[in-house]
């Protein structure tokens, strides 16, 4: 079978890999159908990793995927050949202290598809077929679109971020940075009862998608300021910082009300905090990392048609055009979420 493999920075290849193994007891073999290119995939493609995480061997990329069951191993119930499925790329050990406390996203022995954090690396899901434990699969309805189902993983990240914030009913919320995570956080915050969701970015196209996903107001910071939101001691109850930009982080402290909450979602370079504002405005801060039970929640909302994530998907290219797909995904002027069709020519 073919797989999309990163060998070194700017050395992305369509390689031939062994066929997926027949499923053993408790396993399922899946034909991958759709895969979304994530920011981490782009970092591996352009830089060979991020921070201390670096490629040390060729690695199959990808963790945002959906597919169709090809074969079911012994002892598996609730799944059959032909079923559409969403695939959870997160594989906690279920044995460490954090797993036992219900904090499986902080597992000390986590395996996450398409990640170079471990060595040997945890190979990813951008391949035509894969055999996995049945526990990683969630069955979809026959009519569910496999493209939107492949967005369950990033949506789960955003549902976890909103859960970190606690109740948002009636709140004024600002989402900083409208990449895929920012746009989906906008949707999640709107669904959580926020009275107003303000989305900010430096470009109009992502702001247009944020509006389609639930933003009540959008601000292009290339030509506008946040002065009205910073009036008095600030007017915003909760900020979800999704850009990882130090300047955006500083702005969050200026617009938040005293006692407001800053949820840090985006990863970026280390930044200096404005301690005077943090202290005098009694700003609460909390990080948000990956997801756990939210993956099943994301799949359920997509599967039942409660949310429509189709505005997020700006292009779908066949696997044979993988390199072009990655280049398009890296161009924010024309792309939000680029997906690869593994079942197309």
Q: Is residue 323 part of a domain?
A: yes
**Shared-domain flag, residues 140 and 9:** yes
Tokens of 51: 């921070």
Of the two residues 85 and 273, the one the predictor is more confident about is 85
**What is the bridge-based pairing of β-strands 196-201 and 217-220?**
parallel
Q: What's 25's domain CATH number?
A: 3.90.180.10
Q: Is residue 303 part of a domain?
A: no
**Shared-domain flag, residues 127 and 246:** no
Indicate the SS3 state at residue 98: helix
Up-side HSE of residue 343: CA atoms within 13 Å toward CB? 12
pLDDT for 120 beyond 60? yes
**Shared-domain flag, residues 134 and 174:** no
User: CA separation (Å) from 63 to 112, 125, 173, 334?
Assistant: 8, 6, 29, 22
pLDDT for 337 beyond 60? yes
> Is there a contact between 37 and 326 (Cβ–Cβ < 8 Å)?
yes
**Shared-domain flag, residues 140 and 22:** yes
**Shared-domain flag, residues 34 and 87:** yes
DSSP code per residue over 6-33: EEETTEEEEEE-PPPPPP-TTEEEEEEE
Tokens of 166: 């606690």
- The whole-angstrom separation of Cα 114 and Cα 126 is 8
- Please state the rounded mean pLDDT for residues 226-241: 97
Q: Is residue 324 part of a domain?
A: yes
Domain limits for position 19: 2-151+309-341
Q: Is residue 15 part of a domain?
A: yes
pLDDT for 249 beyond 80? yes
Tokens of 195: 């009275």
pLDDT for 132 beyond 60? yes
- The whole-angstrom separation of Cα 79 and Cα 273 is 49
Note the pLDDT of residue 270.
84
pLDDT grade, residue 345 (50/70/90)?
A: low
Indicate the SS3 state at residue 319: helix
Structure confidence by residue, pLDDT tens digits, 39-97:
999 999 999 998 889 999 999 999 999 999 999 999 999 999 999 999 999 999 999 99
Q: Mark residue 26 as left, alpha or beta (left: phi above 0; alpha: psi -120 to 50; beta: remaining).
A: left
Tokens of 43: 């970092």
Residues linked to residue 111 through DSSP beta bridges, in sequence order: 91
Sign of CA dihedral 147, 320, 179, 59: positive
pLDDT for 320 beyond 60? yes
Average pLDDT, the chain: 96
Q: What's 164's domain CATH number?
A: 3.40.50.720
**Shared-domain flag, residues 64 and 169:** no
Q: Is residue 32 part of a domain?
A: yes
pLDDT for 187 beyond 70? yes
**Shared-domain flag, residues 194 and 210:** yes
- The whole-angstrom separation of Cα 36 and Cα 339 is 4
Q: Is residue 300 part of a domain?
A: no
Instruction: Using the structure block, give the residue that is written with the tokens 């005098």.
Output: 280
Residue whose C-alpha is closest to residue 209's, from 39, 327, 342, 334:
334
Tokens of 82: 């032909």
Structure confidence by residue, pLDDT tens digits, 194-208:
999 999 999 999 999
- Please state the rounded mean pLDDT for residues 230-245: 96
Structure confidence by residue, pLDDT tens digits, 16-30:
999 999 999 999 999
Q: Which phi and psi angles does 7 have, rounded to 5°?
A: -105, -30
**Shared-domain flag, residues 145 and 26:** yes
What are the residues whose beta carbons fall under 8 Å from the beta carbon of 90, sequence distance 6 or more? 104, 105, 110, 112, 290, 291, 292, 295
pLDDT for 294 beyond 90? yes
DSSP code per residue over 100-131: HTT-GGG-TT-EETTB-SSSS-B--S-BSEEE
Note the pLDDT of residue 332.
85
**Shared-domain flag, residues 65 and 189:** no
Q: Which strand (E) or helix (H) includes residue 273?
A: none
- Domain total of the chain: 2
CA torsion 228-234-239-242 (nearest 10°) is 60
Q: Which strand (E) or helix (H) includes residue 69?
A: strand 64-72
Q: Is residue 301 part of a domain?
A: no
Q: Is residue 235 part of a domain?
A: yes
User: CA separation (Å) from 286 to 182, 240, 263?
Assistant: 16, 10, 5
85 burial level (CB within 10 Å; 0-12, 13-18, 19+): buried
**Shared-domain flag, residues 137 and 204:** no
**Shared-domain flag, residues 190 and 238:** yes
**Shared-domain flag, residues 9 and 101:** yes
Note the pLDDT of residue 52.
85
């Amino acid at each position: 079978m073919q797989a999309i493999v990163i060998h070194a920075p700017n050395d992305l290849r369509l390689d031939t890999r062994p066929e997926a193994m027949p499923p053993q007891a408790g396993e399922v073999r899946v034909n991958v159908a759709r895969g979304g290119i994530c920011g981490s995939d782009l970092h591996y493609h352009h830089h060979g990793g991020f921070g201390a995480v670096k490629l040390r061997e060729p690695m199959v990329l990808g963790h945002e995927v959906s597919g169709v069951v090809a074969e079911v191993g012994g002892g598996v119930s609730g799944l059959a050949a032909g079923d559409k499925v969403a695939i959870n790329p997160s594989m906690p050990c279920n044995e460490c202290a954090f797993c036992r406390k219900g904090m499986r996203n902080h597992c000390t022995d986590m395996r996450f598809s398409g990640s170079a954090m471990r060595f040997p690396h945890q190979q990813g899901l951008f391949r035509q077929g894969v055999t996995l434990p049945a526990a990683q699969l969630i069955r979809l309805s026959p009519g569910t679109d496999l493209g939107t189902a492949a967005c369950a993983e990033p949506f789960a990240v955003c549902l976890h971020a909103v859960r970190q914030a606690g109740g948002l009913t009636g709140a004024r919320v600002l989402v900083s940075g409208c990449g895929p995570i920012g746009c989906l956080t906008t949707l999640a915050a709107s669904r959580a009862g926020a009275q107003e969701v303000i989305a900010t970015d430096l470009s109009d196209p992502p702001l247009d998608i944020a509006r389609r996903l639930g933003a009540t107001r959008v601000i292009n910071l290339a030509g506008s300021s946040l002065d009205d939101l910073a009036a008095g001691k600030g007017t915003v109850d909760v900020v979800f910082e999704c850009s990882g930009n130090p300047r955006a982080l500083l702005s969050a402290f200026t617009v938040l009300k005293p006692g407001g909450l800053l949820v840090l979602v985006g990863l970026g370079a280390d930044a200096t905090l404005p301690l005077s504002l943090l202290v005098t405005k009694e700003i609460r801060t909390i990080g948000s990392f990956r997801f756990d039970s939210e993956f099943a929640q994301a799949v359920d909302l997509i599967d039942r048609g409660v949310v429509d994530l189709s505005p997020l998907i700006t292009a779908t290219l066949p696997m044979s055009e993988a390199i072009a797909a990655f280049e398009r995904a890296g161009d924010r002027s024309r792309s939000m979420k680029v997906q690869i069709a593994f079942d197309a020519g």
